[in-house]
Structure 1
Amino acid sequence: MERLAGKIILLSGAGRAFVAFAAGVIAGLAQAPFDFPLAAFIAFPILVWLLDGAVAAPERRGARRLAPAFGIGWLFGFGYFLNGLWWTGNALLVEADLFAWALPLAVVGLPALLAIFYALACALAKLAWSNDIGRICALAVAFACAEWLRAVLFTGFPWNAIGYAAMPVPLAMQSSVVLGFTGMNALAVFVFALPALLAGRVHLKLGLVLGVALVVLHLGYGAARLALAAPEEGDTIAVRIIQPSILQSQKWDMAERDRIFEAHLDLTRRPVENGAPRPDIILWPETSVPFLFGDRPDALAALGDTIGEGQRLLAGIVRAEERSAGATAYYNSIVVIDESGEIVDAFDKVHLVPFGEYLPFQDVLSRFGLRQLAQNIGGFSAGTRRRPLDLGNGMGGLPFICYEVIFPGIAPRGETDARLIVNVTNDAWFGNTPGPYQHFRQAQLRAVETGLPLVRAANNGISAAVDGYGRLIDGLALDAVGVLDVEVPLVRADGLILPIPGRLAGWIVVFVLVGGAIVGHRASRAT
């Protein structure tokens, strides 16, 4: 191992750049749908050794001394995000005549921009670099801060955070309740990078003990929490989830609209099978209604004829609102419709997708020919606040439309009286790629964080019901057409939780690692 580490440390030029990029690509294999955490145990030690050799020329001063580390971090991040996000380009091919020119911006440009966060992380870590376990602490702290920044800056985009690589299954997801997003990112990088200590032998035993202890605690806590989970007794809600798998190219085709609407109605009318209970609520995907209700009052009448007594249907729609001077605002919304065909509640998407649903700095960027993907309606306006939807019988469902569900801390535990999370999405933009699998994984983690069960309707998948521990109750495969009748237990997962919020505990972990980095750096300078 020392020989391998030595070769990596001494790399230069194109060879060094290629290894950094390749390490990032390897790290991406730890995320869904590959779910191969061992890849991260290979990639991060390589990154540590590359940073060991990232030494600036003696004449460089100030920030310029960090340039080699910045470059290594950028190449690592570029490989990581290129592997994990190449599928975003698929959305531009839906209307290739309008957006194919922007394919390089999505496939290469987005990873290149996101890689800057990892470049900054490596440069920051290099400030407290040492020759022992202290440098592992420094790298973990720096990546935790970078992932936090990635989640909040420029409206945020925390897709495929490093910590998710340590949570491929519900057994390994439970620690996020204790440590939160930041703590999981910090400890994941710390553990993934520990094999770098095999070269040099400094603090090897300490690293081995800490690594094994953290993995055992991580999985042991998950096993204990799942074993002590409250029995799924008490209140339940019967849900029918509709997955029509409509091609994105047909979604807003005028000639297809009646057929698409009728396809949703036909699935809704299907009789329940295998003794399943009659649905209390029926869930359609995002933008499932292919026209404005104002243009088609007959559609609400058809829904009233389809929805049974006491049932409520939740459907993703585009909602129009007239403003002054004849302007119209459009919202990506969920509406609740009762048995009489009346809209009894609604929610407008709060966190819109930049360049997908709206164009940032529109007045400026539109002059250069840039436009958002949602061209049919000229882009969406954002809703003002999130609140539970009225599902009937005094029950609330906390709504999240599409990628709103990827943001950690969206519904702090105990701060909502909702009984479940409702997520509607349309991942048909991305086809049969890793995107829908990664999206579903992050929705699972939101259920674990909040302790609330989640029901999810996706146009082409992955539609599913998940309990408050992230365990799959039932689901439909990607691109399947059908209905999912499931009885969801309304049991909040509250067992084995620390008395302090996970966010605070996560930052405590970061500060402990900061202490380890400082001690290691001082000891290294003293020798």
Structure 2
Amino acid sequence: MIARHPYAIALVAGGISATGFAPLNLWPLTILMLALWMALVIQAGSRKAAFFSGWLFGVGHFIIGLNWIAKAFTFQAAMPEWLGYIAVVLLSLYLAVYPALAALGGWWIGKARPLLLVIALAGAWIITEWWRSWVFSGFIWNPLGSVTLPLGQMAGLGMFIGTYGLSAILIAGAGGLWLVCRKQWWSALPLVLIFAGLALWPHPPASPVSPDQPRITVVQPNIGQQDKWKAGYEDQNLAKLAELTLRADDDPRIIFWPEAAIPDYLETGYPARYYYGRPPEFVRQQLGMLMKPGDMLVLGALKLEFDEAEGRAVGARNSVFAMNAEHELIGRYDKSHLVPYGEYLPMRPVLSALGLSRLAPGDFDFWPGPGARSLDLGGFGKAGLQVCYEIIFSGQVVDRDNRPDFIFNPSNDAWFGSWGPPQHLAQARLRAIEEGLPVIRSTPTGISAVIDANGTVRFHVPMGEAGRIDSRLPEAKASTLFARYGNWLSLGLALILLLSAIAIRLRAR
């Protein structure tokens, strides 16, 4: 059957393999489908056939894994809802090129030798995932390494080899299973034993948090996307945030609010017409009333950019502001990695003429910030800021010259359907493991969470619920190997794997 219908099987296997990601976490199916795919790749009779097998596997893999993207189109009245499903398919057709290239590399180096194909495919997968993280601005949602999170200690290796290295381990484990099916016992044994040992070794128990760590409050107001920007909802939405923020005790704390938590502008100096009768001094005073002496509020809000000659706004920044209890803004971070079609419209003159617009409301595009920065919060330490989907980019989330004490990831996952938020949370956990830093997430509708430096979710508020988390900030680890060298480690592993496969092949000749 495999020999008769290899392309159809590759497409179906790719779709089933995506069930290993959150929220389903059916990781055994991912391993089985990867093993089946390797059987398809090795029987390919040409480079073209190997590439096409990998491409079809990728099409199925991404259509299922990224199905939540279609939900975003339901919030934009200017676009028909059905366009969302077409967008998922078109994006998947492009993203599938990367597993296709991995399959081509594995087939070409392996040359019908199963063990060599496994080794070469693992190395090639690292390189193609890394490419996917930056080509055309990058979209590395759901790296294969995310599947390892439920597998005992395996994900913990991310602090040494990064997420792309974890993807290679999953490929190698599936390869071991495939070699067992081929009864190549001596080739399979090392791969199977290492994979099984890592998967069965239990994750270390969560260590207690020191009482000397700062107090934090994470707020999730459960404000849906349909209500977020509605005129007249400003006070109602602020009341939801306020209700979940107020407290009785006086211990200083950091209060975390979501991305774009309020529609008001916090900075002074704009032309009066842009404040809509709510000047920034008034807004900051309202926010200050929710705080006790010594508190710090870290929240998402927008910043405008102006053409000074014409006195009009020409752009915006998706920003995070830190404000103290005296109503003073003490720092700001501007989102760097913007979402195409969400925060800016690529090729605007062409696409605007076709009637297309951004999914997020607004008359002009967002401008990118300078990149990862650490924000000094005084006695609370230093915060690394990553807004929404910036957190998915392995090796790009921390200022390595000014290492923070934790990462704050305000987000708006209300766009993401039911599959997107748990997948987003999983990728935030991988950043915590890689960098050895706790990650704090605050979102309007979920999943808000406190993640420790081992990637363990200590506390969370489920999707679709209003709630708050009161806890101590988990402690950071010493700088991990990955925190010092980043994806050079993953790429080094890829190079070792590929050179090893080539050397074994040449020696066999």
The answer to whether the superposition gives a TM-score over 0.5 is yes
Give the match for residue 127 of structure 1. Answer: 108
**Among candidates 201, 212, 215, match of residue 238 of structure 1:** 215
Task: Kindly provide the amino acid, as one letter, of the partner of residue 391 in structure 1.
Answer: L
Q: Does 1:291 align with 2:264?
A: yes
1:157 and 2:147 matched:
no
Map of 2:447 onto structure 1: 462
The equivalent residue for 1:16 is 6
Contact residue 372 and residue 399 of structure 2 kept, 8 A: no
Conserved 8 A contact 1:413-1:449: no
Q: Deviations over 1:270-302 (max 9, x none)?
A: 446xxxx84511111011102334442222111
Q: Write the distance in 2 (CA, Å) between the matches of 1:414 and 1:217.
A: 29
- Of 102, 125, 133, the match for 1:143: 125
The residue type paired with residue 429 of structure 1 is: W
How far the C-alpha of 1:83 sits from its partner, in A, is 1.0
Classify 1:103/1:500 alpha carbon distance in 2 versus 1 (closer, same or farther; 3 Å).
closer
Of 441, 445, 469, which residue of structure 1 is paired with 2:426? 441
Using a 3 Å threshold, how does the CA distance of structure 1 residues 308 and 234 change in structure 2: closer, same or farther? closer
What do residues 66-114 of structure 1 show as CA deviations (whole Å, max 9, x unaligned)?
Answer: 2211211111001111110011010100124434253233221111111
- TM-superposed CA distance for 1:166, in Å, is 1.9
What does the per-residue CA deviation read over 1:150-188, in whole Å, with 9 as the maximum and x for residues that have no partner? Answer: 011111111111122122367332100111233222222
Task: Report the secondary structure of 2:45's partner residue.
Answer: coil
Matches of 2:242 and 2:375 in 1, distance apart?
Answer: 22
In structure 2, give the amino acid aligned to 1:120.
L
- AA aligned opposite 2:292: G
**Does structure 2 conserve the Cα–Cα contact (< 8 Å) formed by 1:24 and 1:43?**
yes
Identity %: 31
Q: Tell me, what secondary structure is at the counterpart of 2:210?
A: coil
Is the 2:437–2:453 Cα contact (8 Å) retained in structure 1?
A: yes
Q: How many Å apart are 1:502 and its aligned residue?
A: 5.6
CA root-mean-square deviation: 2.4
Tell me how far apart the structure 2 counterparts of residues 137 and 92 of structure 1 sit (CA, whole Å): 40
Q: 1:41 to 1:132 in 2, by over 3 A?
A: same
- In structure 2, the CA distance between the partners of 1:500 and 1:211, relative to structure 1 (3 Å rule), is farther
The aligned runs of 1:252-331 (5 Å cut-off) are: 252-271=229-248, 278=251, 280-293=253-266, 294-295=275-276, 296-297=278-279, 298-324=282-308, 325-328=310-313, 329-331=315-317
Following the alignment from structure 1 to structure 2, what is the Cα–Cα distance between the partners of residues 452 and 522?
43
Which residue in 1 is equivalent to 2:332? 346
Instruction: In structure 2, give the amino acid aligned to 1:312.
Output: M
Distance in 2, Cα, partners of 1:270 & 1:377: 38
The change in CA–CA distance for 1:382 and 1:170 in structure 2 (over 3 A counts) is farther
Q: Could you say which residue in structure 2 is the equivalent of 1:62?
A: none
Q: Please say which of residues 77-86 and 313-322 is displaced more in the overlay.
A: 313-322
Q: Paired residue for 2:345?
A: 359
> For the structure 1 residues 490 and 132, does the alpha-carbon distance in structure 2 shift closer, same or farther, using more than 3 Å as the test?
closer
Aligned to 2:67: 86
Counterparts in 2 of 1:136 and 1:376: CA distance versus 1, 3 Å: same
The aligned residue for residue 474 of structure 2 is 489
Distance 1:394 1:233 in 2: 14
- Is residue 100 of structure 1 aligned with residue 73 of structure 2? no
SS of 2:421's equivalent in the other structure is helix
Name the SS for the 1:55 alignment partner.
coil
Aligned partner (choices 109, 130, 136) of residue 90 of structure 2:
109
TM-score, normalised relative to structure 2: 0.91
1:205 matches 2:205: no
Amino acid of the residue matched to residue 400 of structure 1?
A: Q
Task: Using structure 1 for the length normalisation, give the TM-score.
Answer: 0.88
Looking at structure 2, the residues matched to 523 and 412 of structure 1 have their Cα atoms a distance apart, in angstroms, of 43
Alpha carbons of 1:143 and 1:477: their partners in 2 closer, same or farther (altered >3 Å)?
same
- Partner SS state of residue 72, structure 2: helix
Q: Return the offset for 1:241.
A: 0.8
SS in 2 for 1:211: helix
Q: Distance in 1 between matches of 2:231 and 2:299?
A: 20
Specify which of 164, 169, 173 is matched with residue 155 of structure 2.
173
More off after superposition, 385-394 vs 126-135: 385-394
Check the 8 A contact 1:144/1:183 in 2, yes or no.
Answer: yes
| Structure 2 stretches lacking a partner, 5+ long | 267-274
**1:122 aligns to what SS in structure 2?**
helix
